[in-house]
Structure 1
Amino acid sequence: MSTDLEGLFSAFNATIGRSTMADAEFGETFRQMMAALVRFDYVVVFAYRGKERPIDLYSTFDRDEHIVFVTLYQAGPYLLDPFYHTARERREGVLRMRELAPDRFFSSEYYRTYYVQTGLAEEIGFFVNADEDITIVLSLMRRETTGVFPPAEFMTLKKVEPLVASMVRHYWSGLASRFDAQLAAGSKSKRRQGQNENIAPAEAVWRDLNLTSRETAIVELVLQGHSSESIGLRLNISTGTVKVHRRNVYRKLGISSQTQLLSLYLKNLA
């Protein structure tokens, strides 16, 4: 598509003289900037810090879409999301989901039971590292009916990335206090329920299911969409050893499929 200069200048004009902007204001400014450059269907912005529940900063979803893309995502599936793991690695730049996803992601149970509900053809994210170990990811999404981003539009996004990163660091600074508040609220809830507030949600699931640290590492990679070969390379063990651990986990948990593994994981996470 051709650049909409009028729309682009209008978006920039909204920032002139503004030292601060509310989430919705800056999110809308970002949306207008991107709409002047490329075609997309949705925008969603999440802030990530370590293993903590991501904070949603802005989105363009309707009520029903928000449940799938935001509410349900924050409830636990984010822990299996390639964007979440890339944010934890503190990578920066404009990155495609399909380039970040594990080798078996698109045939994984997570993809079939959750991600497919989004109906997306492609997702591209601006990964911006901010202060206090926080990474902000601004996602542009295209539905299956729209198709993937053409190479020329992807290159346009890469060219505009330095400007987007600078604006994000300026207008979405100081998010640490929000994570701290969320963490404090979660700790109070855990204390009321008699849980250990120092254990992350995913870690608590495997601890409660009595898995070893090695078994935990393997099943998390399985659920993320890694093949046994990929897991072996990441953990520096043989493919055969990975398969033995997987069989032991299934026997220990009394299950026989990845479908049951994901169901058990999400049930205990909730």
Structure 2
Amino acid sequence: MGIDLEALFKTLGPMIGGASTGDDEAGGVFCSLMRSLVSFDYAVIFAYREKERPLDLYSTFTPEEHVIFVSLYQAGPFLLDPFYHAAREPRPGVWRMRELAPDRFFSSEYFRSYYTQTGLAEEIGFFVALEEGITVVLSLMRRERSGAFTAAEFSLLKKAEPVVAGLVRHAWPDLNRRFDAALAKRERGGRKSAHPAADRVWRNLNLTEREASIVELVLQGHSSESIGLRLGISTGTVKVHRRNVYRKLGISSQTQLLSIYLKNLGQ
């Protein structure tokens, strides 16, 4: 697919010196810009701040698809998403999912039970770090029938990153206020924090801090070797802690571990 320069210039023109736009208008500009460069099946834009429920700024999903890609994702699985963890670091730039995913991500229970429902062949994200710990991630997705983005397409998208970053800063200058408003709304509904169980889920199950760290990494898709390197302990020690966790929880599989995790997030 060649670059559609006419479409590109038509998209960029109204942005120059224009007033701040709404979510739908800014999302539409992003999609028009991307379609002048590459083809894709879906686009979605999330804003992340700490462990709070991400803000859904824009998407191209049908109502049925929105349930899987947005509603279900916001309910808890986002905490295991490689894009979420990259946003929190942050890691600005353009990234393929497979570049950010842990070494066992594609065989993890999270991938099998949630991510495969999306039917995606690949996801690429533009990561734009803003002030006050906020990162906006603009994702382009291709379903399996469309195949992955080529190396040439990915290179072209990386060149577009400065324009996308400029669009984000122009379109969403007040995200901190919006996160605060979402938090206040949840508090009025009886929730004490944006994602109340995120920090205490394992503590309520009587896991030690080290055990909690290890099972979080297990669910994210890290192997025992990867966990050991991240935590500075031996692979054998990781396996011992993991066996102890399974014994404490009375489980024998990662499927059961994920079920317990998501159940306690919802409490």
TM class by smaller structure: over 0.9
Q: Deviations over 1:160-200 (max 9, x none)?
A: 10111112112111100111111222233346xxxx64985
TM-score, length basis structure 2 = 0.96
Is structure 2 residue 228 aligned with structure 1 residue 232?
yes
SS of 1:218 mapped into structure 2: helix
**Which runs of 5 or more residues in structure 1 are unaligned?**
none
- 1:121 matched residue in structure 2: 121
- 1:207 matched residue in structure 2: 203
- Whether the 8 Å contact between 2:124 and 2:140 is mirrored in structure 1 is yes
Q: Deviations over 1:17-73 (max 9, x none)?
A: 422100000100010000010111100000000111100100000011100000000
Q: Classify 1:197/1:156 alpha carbon distance in 2 versus 1 (closer, same or farther; 3 Å).
A: closer
For these two proteins, the number of residue pairs brought into alignment is 266
- 2:159 matched residue in structure 1: 159
Q: Distance in 1 between matches of 2:134 and 2:225?
A: 31
- What is the 5 A alignment of 1:189-204? 189-190=189-190, 197=193, 200-204=196-200
- Whether the 8 Å contact between 1:11 and 1:29 is mirrored in structure 2 is yes
Q: Classify 1:92/1:62 alpha carbon distance in 2 versus 1 (closer, same or farther; 3 Å).
A: same
2:255 to 241, 251, 259: 259
**Identical-residue share of aligned pairs (%):** 68
Bigger mean CA deviation after superposition, 61-70 or 10-19: 10-19
The runs of at least 4 aligned residues of structure 1 exceeding 4 Å deviation read 196-200
SS of 2:73 mapped into structure 1: helix
- 1:145 matched residue in structure 2: 145
1:98 corresponds to which letter in structure 2? R
Q: Deviations over 1:126-182 (max 9, x none)?
A: 000112210000000011100000111100011110111112112111100111111
- What is the 5 A alignment of 1:174-185? 174-185=174-185
- Whether the 8 Å contact between 1:14 and 1:29 is mirrored in structure 2 is no
Q: Distance in 2 between matches of 1:7 and 1:199?
A: 41
- Whether the 8 Å contact between 1:131 and 1:173 is mirrored in structure 2 is no
Q: Distance in 1 between matches of 2:109 and 2:259?
A: 9
TM-score, length basis structure 1 = 0.95
Q: Distance in 1 between matches of 2:162 and 2:135?
A: 15
- 1:172 matched residue in structure 2: 172
Q: Classify 1:199/1:12 alpha carbon distance in 2 versus 1 (closer, same or farther; 3 Å).
A: closer
- 2:68 matched residue in structure 1: 68
Q: Quote the RMSD (CA, aligned, Å).
A: 1.4
SS of 1:95 mapped into structure 2: strand
- Whether the 8 Å contact between 2:87 and 2:135 is mirrored in structure 1 is yes
SS of 1:25 mapped into structure 2: helix
Q: Classify 1:198/1:66 alpha carbon distance in 2 versus 1 (closer, same or farther; 3 Å).
A: closer
